[in-house]
Structure 1
Amino acid sequence: MTVKYLSLEYNKVNERGTFSPGDTVSGKVIVVTNKETKVQCFVVRAKGKAEVTWSEQEGQNTVVHNDKKRYFYFKHIILQDKNKGDGSEIIRSGRNLFPFTFEIPNTDMPSSFKGKWGKIIYTLRAKLTLSIWLVHKTKIEFPFLTKAEFPFASKSEMIIIGLQEQQSATRISFLGSGKVTFSVTSETMGVKQGEAMAVSVEILNDSTRTVTPKFYLSETQTFVADSKRVVHTNDVLFGSGDCVPAESRQTVTRVLSIPPQTPPTFFNCSMMRLEYRIKVSLDVPQAEIKLPMVVMLGSPKPHQQKPKRSIWFRKLPS
């Protein structure tokens, strides 16, 4: 094997390590060979796409639903054998660096996301073809952030929603031993990644049993394909409050910190969306309240680039 190593690297354009519409993605392909190598074709491709797929049982048949959308696709030819005989399709022995540059279209595109049955990814791929039987490939994903200030609603809608306004809801649950009335209030509806918000629950326990409030961050992922829809929900327990004894009233408050790696709420993809709610439940039947919550993009933090998927080739013993 003449090609020993093939990898991709890109240059960061900001401290977050992300790219957005209108940015330029530049980098290099690294090729290590143990001798001079003739190339049929050597290309780098940049692609942004969203795709969803899931299967479900319909009678005796398993039906697969899928859809995909391409946001952009570019190809940069580094070397290509055009039978010119001028040696331009030769890679010399040793370590070789080949630069590339792509400009991302300045249009609205959703941020990178990976969910239960769908993903939005932006990738760079290199393909080195030596012959019809010998092709080397490598790829790397680069993190992408939308430029939309509110990828979940327009500015006019945001004024109506009032992300910074307090919100609350009340529920009554009837037990054989009485009833429990509880109200949940959150200090705000919108919170940034890595920030915290206070959630309070006021409990009037007119029953003969003790109740305990539990606080959750509830995530809802929705996927659409073939005019069908599938929903995946996931509840992350923040913690429990103090027990409220029978025949008593008590207010319990917890400060809920949103993990900085929590993906922001988004609706600007036609095939999937991501929503959140704060859920407070009591350990009695049907005692649950959900309040809508919008997770917004937080302050920039350095992106930890995943290890590049490099390819090393080793000669097999004869």
Structure 2
Amino acid sequence: MTVKHFHVEYSKLNNEGTYSPGDTLTGRVVVVTTKETKVQCFYVQAKGKAKVSWCEGNGANTVVHQDKRKYFYFEHIILQDKNKGDGSEIIGAGRNVFPFTFNIPNTDMPSSYQGKWGRITYSLRAQLTQSIWVVHKTKTEFPFRTTAEYPFASKTEMVIIGLKEQQQATRISFCGIGKVTMKFVSEKMGIRQGEAMGVTVEVINESSRTVTPKLYLCEKQTFVAQSKHMVHADDVLFGTGDPVSPHSSHTVTKVLSIAPLLSPTFFNCSMMKLEYRLKVTLDVPQERDSEIKLPLIILLGSPKPPQQKPKRSIWFRKLIG
């Protein structure tokens, strides 16, 4: 083996190392050899794609649903074309560096994403072929971030305005002897990565049972392939109120903090989408839980130092003050 080391790397444009539509991607392929090496073909590729895949059924009845879409594909020949290489090119002994440049299309493309049954990836791949028996391959993925401020389906002015508006819902349910009224209020519909906001639940318990409110952040991943849909849902508990005894009332306020690395809401991929909801349930012994759901859109956050803590909003400070 004359090739001791073979890898592809890219230059970082910012602290996060992310690229966006319209950026120029620069990098290099590094080859370390023990002696002069003949090359049949040597190239590097840049690719952006989305792919979904899942199985239904068991055994002989298993059906695979899958689909993929390519956002861009570029190839740069470094020494020899893979279809025309004749082995006449030679790489010198030692460390060799081969730079390359690709211009990412300035079009709407979704951010990098890893879901339950699908991925959106942006990658660099390099291949060096010495002979039909000796082929060297290397790959690295680079993080891609959309420049669309609102990468979801409905971009009407009312929805954009509504991102900053307070939202609320009320539900009346019956358990035991009597009724329970639950009012759920969230500060706004849209929140950025790394931010926090307050939510409140007011429970008026006129029943004969003790009830306990629980608050959840709900994630919903939807995948589409061959006209089939598959959904993966996950509920994360972020707050539990005190039990509300019969014929009493109680208001609980909790802070919802959005992790900086939590993927933003997106609908701008034809094969998958990511949505969120806020949910509050009433935990009632021996009764079916009542629940209220409110929409939540997680927006792309501004880059911040890792040590900076999310700020609580003015609305929340007034609410609990």
Q: Normalization by structure 2: what TM-score?
A: 0.89
Match of 1:10 in 2: 10
Match of 1:128 in 2: 128
* Mapped pair 1:143 → 2:143: yes
Match of 1:297 in 2: 300
Count of paired positions:
301
Bigger Cα displacement from structure 2, 13-22 vs 43-52: 13-22
Within-5 A mapping of 1:211-226: 211-226=211-226
Q: Deviations over 1:261-302 (max 9, x none)?
A: 110000111111000001111212231111100000001147
Bigger Cα displacement from structure 2, 191-200 vs 279-288: 279-288
User: Which whole-Å CA distance do the structure 2 matches of 1:63 and 1:219 have between them?
Assistant: 26
Highest RCO, 1 vs 2 (Cα 8 Å, sep ≥ 6): 1
Instruction: Return closer, same or farther for 1:35/1:107 CA change in 2, 3 Å cut-off.
Output: same
Which amino acid in structure 1 is aligned with residue 293 of structure 2?
A: K
Aligned to 2:156, the other structure's residue is in SS state helix
Which amino acid in structure 2 is aligned with residue 168 of structure 1?
A: Q
Match of 1:36 in 2: 36
* Mapped pair 1:257 → 2:257: yes
Residues 238 and 256 of structure 1 are in contact (CA less than 8 Å); yes or no, is this contact kept in structure 2? yes
Residues 173 and 286 of structure 1 are in contact (CA less than 8 Å); yes or no, is this contact kept in structure 2? no
* Mapped pair 1:167 → 2:170: no
Within-5 A mapping of 1:143-222: 143-153=143-153, 155-159=155-159, 162-222=162-222
Residues 177 and 207 of structure 2 are in contact (CA less than 8 Å); yes or no, is this contact kept in structure 1? yes
Which runs of 5 or more residues in structure 2 are unaligned? 307-321
State the Cα distance separating 1:14 from its structure 2 match.
2.4
Bigger Cα displacement from structure 2, 180-189 vs 204-213: 204-213
Bigger Cα displacement from structure 2, 187-196 vs 3-12: 3-12
Instruction: Return closer, same or farther for 1:36/1:302 CA change in 2, 3 Å cut-off.
Output: farther
Q: Deviations over 1:120-172 (max 9, x none)?
A: 10000011111111111110111111121210145434546611111111112
Q: In angstroms, what is the RMSD of aligned CA positions? A: 2.0
Match of 2:101 in 1: 101
State the Cα distance separating 1:216 from its structure 2 match.
1.1
Aligned to 1:131, the other structure's residue is in SS state coil
Instruction: Return closer, same or farther for 1:220/1:289 CA change in 2, 3 Å cut-off.
Output: same
Aligned to 2:62, the other structure's residue is in SS state strand
Bigger Cα displacement from structure 2, 127-136 vs 170-179: 170-179
Residues 15 and 301 of structure 1 are in contact (CA less than 8 Å); yes or no, is this contact kept in structure 2? no
Residues 25 and 102 of structure 1 are in contact (CA less than 8 Å); yes or no, is this contact kept in structure 2? yes
Which amino acid in structure 1 is aligned with residue 277 of structure 2?
A: R
Which amino acid in structure 1 is aligned with residue 295 of structure 2?
A: P
Which runs of 5 or more residues in structure 1 are unaligned? 304-318
Residues 22 and 105 of structure 1 are in contact (CA less than 8 Å); yes or no, is this contact kept in structure 2? yes
Instruction: Return closer, same or farther for 1:174/1:83 CA change in 2, 3 Å cut-off.
Output: closer
Q: Normalization by structure 1: what TM-score?
A: 0.89
Match of 2:318 in 1: none
Aligned partner (choices 283, 286, 291) of residue 289 of structure 2: 286
Q: Deviations over 1:79-138 (max 9, x none)?
A: 1176788x6x21111111110110001111111111001111000001111111111111
Match of 2:313 in 1: none
Instruction: Return closer, same or farther for 1:75/1:60 CA change in 2, 3 Å cut-off.
Output: closer
Which amino acid in structure 1 is aligned with residue 205 of structure 2?
A: N
